[in-house]
Structure 1
Amino acid sequence: MKNLFNLQGKVAVVTGGSRGIGAMIARGFVENGVKTYITARKLEELEATARELSEYGECIAVASDLSSLEGVTAFAKAIQEKEDKVDILVNNAGATWGAPIDEFPEAGWDKVMDLNVKSLFFLTQQLLPALRNAGNQEDPARVINIGSINGLFNPNMTNYSYSASKAAVIHLTKHLAADLVKDCINVNGIAPGLFPSKMTAYALEGHEEEAGKTIPRGRIGSAEDAAGTAIYLSARASAWVTGHTIVLDGGHCASAH
């Protein structure tokens, strides 16, 4: 029972790993002995994060643009040229868009759906050989899809394509889990509430403490919260858990009226 959360020696891929929740999860992996590949579109920011995380362990930057199938294919190929096994895939890369319903553009719909849902599916598909090579009955490979509480209830914002995409991610997580369990691959999700990130910067704007008071646990999410949940879903402790999405929101959804 002492090694239930041991990840030493595993290989992980974290998309959208240069900042926000992706970087939080990546750091948790790196500090716990996981060789971690992070990817994002902006090379300078990505490499800066990789240098920072490399102080704690092994973190490797591989730039990509996952907004197109061509970009997904190129990234999957780059990873599989470096690794024949991938123990953990964290599908975190995402985008959002907000506009009044009468003005919401097709471009804002397609951009969000393509990155948040389409690229998640096809990256998982294209990394299946490496995931299958890593998993076994005792310790399956893991896919962790990052959803949002916006996919569970009305966010009362004009982010229509975002909330729809995250609802799709939560359902797709169940569907993939059912199909991939025979391949010794567990697929689960995390639906975060309010965390500090580029997406939430407009709402927080230095008012993290005030925003935290609106959450039952009395604060916004931290790096430890994101990393701890991802570590659980990647470790032996969760080997019998698949097809579920953990709501990581400090009690927000449970207390919503």
Structure 2
Amino acid sequence: MTETHVSSLAVGRLFDLAGKTALVTGGSSGLGLIMAETLLRAGVRVVIASRKQDKCDEALAQLQPLGDCQAVAADVTQPEDRQRLRDFLQQQFGEQGLSILVNNAGANWGAKIEDYPDDAFAKVMTTNVNAVFSLTRELLPLLGLAATAQDPARVINIGSMDGLQVPVVQRVPTFAYSASKAALHHLTRTLAVDLGPRHITVNAVAPGFFQSRMTDYVLREFGDDIAADSPMGRAGEPEEIAGVLVYLASRAGAYTNGAVIPVDGGTHISKGTRAWMEADQQ
């Protein structure tokens, strides 16, 4: 093996993110906050976006000691807010461009079909699908500045295992959420085909339940059901979503394009304990 091959396969180089730039939407809480922290700890300059200024300020107090982090209060479903966010990114990153776009901002709504309002369905679809498309389209010039053949710019969409299977654990139907995440997964594939030739990869992560402040209530109320629903018998830990993010954003993931990666302990392929497994445990 040549010296060049040895250096290119060095683990530190494969997963090195130092000097890159990133935007994380919905970055003030939940998985977005975890992912923003992950990128900062890896040496990335990070901008987070969230709808409410107080949430941005609270997140910055936690994130800024870890690295170069800024925040913009912006609703990505609103064209004027996306314009303001784009202008801020241009000011912050200039000719360097945007290396990583994490489309994480999302919405949900649960109700029985008889009570499910049209405006709620539209809001979820607008946030989880339309806004992802619009923001990605509008940031293409900045992504292009950071893109090279050997080190593409990255778009990482945060989907859900609920876009791969029908969720039942919470016992409240989430029609729009499941449909929107399935649509986001396929949007990821279509964008990957279009943007790959421009040296911009587009991939999606489909998380299951993870420990965070946003899921405290669900895990407290339905934790046993969530554990029983997963072949691994538990929810995810922050480092397990962080690892997938680093892979997709780094040289290690430069040739991964159009993938939808489940990170749910296998819940989407195997729903809970089987009768023969219970018999074996007796």
**Aligning the two structures, in what range does the TM-score lie when normalised by the shorter sequence?**
over 0.9
8 A Cα contact 2:210 2:236, kept in partner: yes
Tell me whether 1:221 sits opposite 2:236 in the alignment. Answer: yes
8 A Cα contact 2:231 2:271, kept in partner: no
More displaced, 151-160 or 107-116? 151-160
Match in the other structure for 1:109: 121
Match in the other structure for 2:5: none
Tell me whether 1:118 sits opposite 2:133 in the alignment. Answer: no
CA distance in 1, matches of 2:201, 2:163: 21
CA distance in 1, matches of 2:218, 2:137: 35
CA distance in 2, matches of 1:182, 1:5: 23
Quickly say closer, same or farther: Cα 1:209–1:223, change in 2 above 3 A. Answer: farther
Mapping of residues 3-152 of structure 1, within 5 Å: 3-84=13-94, 85-152=97-164
CA RMSD, 1 decimal: 1.7
CA distance in 1, matches of 2:222, 2:124: 27
CA distance in 1, matches of 2:22, 2:89: 10
User: Which structure is higher in RCO with an 8 Å CA cutoff and minimum separation 6?
Assistant: 1
8 A Cα contact 1:72 1:119, kept in partner: no
| Corresponding residue SS for 1:212 | helix
| Corresponding residue SS for 1:187 | strand
The sequence identity of aligned pairs, in percent, is 43
| Corresponding residue SS for 2:243 | helix
8 A Cα contact 1:26 1:36, kept in partner: yes
Number of residue pairs aligned between Structure 1 and Structure 2: 257
C-alpha distance after superposition, 1:175-216 (max 9, x if no partner) = 000000111000000000111346534422376577435422
| Corresponding residue SS for 2:90 | helix
Is the radius of gyration larger for structure 1 or structure 2? 2
Counterpart AA for 2:207: P
C-alpha distance after superposition, 1:1-31 (max 9, x if no partner) = 2200000000000000001110111111000
8 A Cα contact 1:80 1:127, kept in partner: no
8 A Cα contact 1:26 1:227, kept in partner: no
TM-score of the pair, normalised by structure 1: 0.94
Task: Give the drift of 1:253.
Answer: 1.6
8 A Cα contact 2:211 2:238, kept in partner: no
CA distance in 2, matches of 1:20, 1:135: 29
CA distance in 1, matches of 2:110, 2:225: 23
Task: Give the drift of 1:48.
Answer: 1.6
8 A Cα contact 2:219 2:226, kept in partner: yes
CA distance in 1, matches of 2:14, 2:45: 19
Counterpart AA for 2:174: N
Mapping of residues 145-184 of structure 1, within 5 Å: 145-156=157-168, 157-184=172-199
Match in the other structure for 2:265: 250
CA distance in 2, matches of 1:148, 1:214: 15
8 A Cα contact 2:155 2:202, kept in partner: yes
TM-score of the pair, normalised by structure 2: 0.86
Unmatched 5+ stretches in structure 2: 1-8, 273-282
Task: Give the drift of 1:87.
Answer: 0.2
Task: Give the drift of 1:78.
Answer: 2.1
Counterpart AA for 1:78: F
Structure (1 or 2) with the greater helix fraction: 2
